[in-house]
Amino acid sequence: MSQSDKVGTPSGVKRVRKAVLPAAGLGTRFLPATKAQPKEMLSVVDKPQIQYVVEECVASGIEHVIIVTGKGKNSIEDHFDYNPTLERFLEEKGKKDLAGMVRKISDMVQVSYTRQKEPLGLGHAVLVAKDLVGDEPFAVLLGDVLIPGENPATKQLIQVYQQTGLGAIAVEEVPKEKTHLYGIVDGHAAPQAPFGERLLRIRELVEKPKPENAPSNLAITGRYVLPPEIFDCLERTKPGAGNEIQLTDAMKILAKEHGLWALIYEGISYDAGEKLGFLKATVELALQNPEFGGAFRNYLKTLKL
Ligand code: UTP
């Protein structure tokens, strides 16, 4: 049995306390909206995408969020900072609830920032957070992928890590003809309670394969729980597609040398970093909104489609 085939509950597995949110990309798929504002700050219904992602961290038990920012991303820091002028104004107008809601955004979790000076790829963005993460496992959540719901994808991955001591990445089924748009997992079933058939041991990761070459239709979704060994793998990863340091390439090394799980997580993801995904997220989350979801549904019914 190779090291990467070990299954069990290893002793001394560290708690997953930190999360890295890479948010330093240029957002070219969302131009012109992203010319002068971060795509992670584009609001879906009534809050910026990155707030959904930070809330997923909190709901997953994360205590320290590390956001990787870059040029033009200062509004992310402002959003999670106090805004005394606004709070005072709201309180003076008797809008205590709104003032409290604004304050809560800054108080929900400890947030640190580090900068990626150039957008050299997702893998590079994670590597930039190495010192802040230190020698412990951590979650990675893409700042423009939304997975709303009661059972956060990150929490599900943390459960896999705590139970097995190995990293885990979230995957979901995509139509076979669309595999060329995603990182695709080649894995073998390795069922384990309570995840059952949803847990696979990764053999290989294939970046954007044509449907005829795809080993499966399971796509990498934008949520990861990784051991600190990923940093060594990243340091050994040469620039790949687009001349960027790809997280997928480093995870290939991790899977071979340490083992890595793919979890078909329970939930639905939206790639809100591109226009159609953003629209889908907006409509579906607006329909679920307790305040105006019903009125919005009635409005949609009046449209002649
Ligand atoms: P994307 O590939 O979706 O981001 O990366 P992008 O490069 O901004 O997008 P397009 O293709 O130009 O539209 C997923 C996440 O990783 C971050 C992005 O900010 C996004 O949240 N990222 C990407 C970085 O932090 N640094 C990078 O060098 C690349």
What are the pLDDT digits (tens) for 21-66? 999 999 999 999 999 999 999 999 999 999 999 999 999 999 999 9
Alpha carbon of 155 to ligand 1 centroid (Å): 23
How do 260-264 and 218-226 pair as beta strands?
Answer: unpaired
Q: Please, what is the end-to-end C-alpha distance for the chain in angstroms?
A: 58
Domains of the chain: which residue ranges?
A: 15-302
Asked if residue 156 has its Cβ within 6 Å of ligand 1, the reply is no
Q: How many helices and strands (H and E) does the chain possess? A: 11, 13
What is the pTM assigned to this prediction?
Answer: 0.94
What pLDDT, on the 0 to 100 scale, is given for residue 7? 46
pLDDT score, position 9:
54
Mean pLDDT across the chain: 94
Residue 56 confidence (pLDDT)? 98
Assess whether pLDDT exceeds 50 at residue 3: no
CB-ligand 1 contact for 38 (6 Å cutoff): no
Q: Which atom of ligand 1 is nearest to the CA of 244?
A: 28
pLDDT band at 87 (very low <50, low <70, confident <90, very high): very high
273 touches ligand 1 (CB under 6 Å) = yes
- pLDDT tens-place string over residues 279-292: 999 999 999 999 99
* Ligand 1 center to 43 CA (angstroms): 17
Residue 184 has pLDDT above 60, yes or no: yes
Peptide bond before 137: cis, by omega within 30 degrees of 0?
A: no
Confidence of residue 239 (pLDDT cuts 50, 70, 90): very high
CATH number of 15-302: 3.90.550.10
Q: Which of 20, 26, 275 most suits a substitution to test ligand 1, by most atoms within 8 Å of the C-beta?
A: 26
Residue 304 has what pLDDT?
Answer: 81
Is 80 exceeded by the pLDDT of residue 305?
no
Whether the CB of 57 sits within 6 Å of ligand 1: no
Q: Could you tell me if the CB of 25 is within 6 A of ligand 1?
A: yes
